Amino acid sequence: MKVLIIEDNARVSALLKRGLESQGYQIYISEDAEDALVMIKRISFDVIITDIMLPRMNGIELSKIVKQNHPDLPIIMLTALGTIDEKIEGFDAGADDYMVKPFEIRELYARIKAVLLRKSSSPEKSEQSHILAYHNLNINKNTNRVFRDDKEINLTPKEFRLLVFLMSNAERVLSREEIAENVWGNHFDTGTNYIDVYIAYLRKKIDKDFEEKLIHTKPGMGFIFKL
């Protein structure tokens, strides 16, 4: 497995390289985002681990570019900050997971295994499986396009993934923990409210302009997608 580490702190990148090589990963290192983009064009990586604060171009902008060209390439973001707004910005840019420094290297091992598992277990894109439909809402998972009636709805990568999970489990109450595990792929932090924040984002885009609402809150239980 080829892992690209994008980190301008040489001590941190050396520690990550040593730890990940001990787990059998083949490690590549870049000190800035622009050089990393050149490497990504040349080498087929399995995972990208990037700091947010980088020279010339930050990790948020890097992730947006990577996901436009390689939507299935997992990205784990690292940062010294851990505010809800920053996490949301990272997820909106396409990050698959998010870790706040300092962290235990063993947790990074687990996060890498989790994003690789999700990637390998994703259903093959086929003519039969790439369309999701419920009532007047339609999703094309190949093109990431969403329509309700004839209106196209533009979603961020994380909003799109959340909607796909809700629709795939329509008419079943989903807890915040279950949503976090399946959409964000990390341990749910009960001290944060980013699940509710993203549900609110989706409601504004999916339900606001329509009389029939599809996303509902079940107090004390979670959320349900149904008419």
Q: Write out the chain's pLDDT in tens, 227 residues.
A: 899 999 999 999 999 999 999 999 999 999 999 999 999 988 889 999 999 999 889 999 999 999 988 888 999 999 887 678 878 888 888 899 989 888 899 999 999 998 888 776 654 444 445 788 888 899 988 888 999 987 999 999 889 999 999 998 988 999 988 898 888 876 556 557 888 999 999 999 999 999 999 999 999 899 999 98
The whole-number pLDDT of residue 127 equals 42
Rg (CA), the chain: 18
Round to whole Å and give the CA distance between 170 and 178.
14
Do 143 and 45 share a structural domain? no
Give me the number of domains the chain comprises: 2
DSSP annotation of 101 reads S
Two structure tokens written together for 199? 């549900």
Do 95 and 13 share a structural domain? yes
H-helix or E-strand spanning residue 18: helix 10-21
The whole-number pLDDT of residue 126 equals 41
SS3 174: strand
Last residue of a domain, one of 98, 121, 144: 121
Do 89 and 185 share a structural domain? no
Of the candidates 197, 209, 217, 223, the residue with the CA atom closest to the CA atom of residue 136: 209
Is residue 59 situated within a structural domain?
A: yes
| Helix and strand numbers, DSSP H then E, in the chain | 8, 11
Round to whole Å and give the CA distance between 183 and 199.
12
What domain range is 137 assigned to? Answer: 131-225
The whole-number pLDDT of residue 125 equals 43
Last residue of a domain, one of 101, 121, 141: 121
The whole-number pLDDT of residue 219 equals 92
Two structure tokens written together for 35? 């050089």
Give yes or no for a contact between 59 and 101, defined as CB atoms under 8 angstroms apart. Answer: no
Two structure tokens written together for 91? 């997820």
Do 135 and 117 share a structural domain? no
Round to whole Å and give the CA distance between 8 and 148.
44
DSSP annotation of 226 reads -
Is residue 126 situated within a structural domain?
A: no
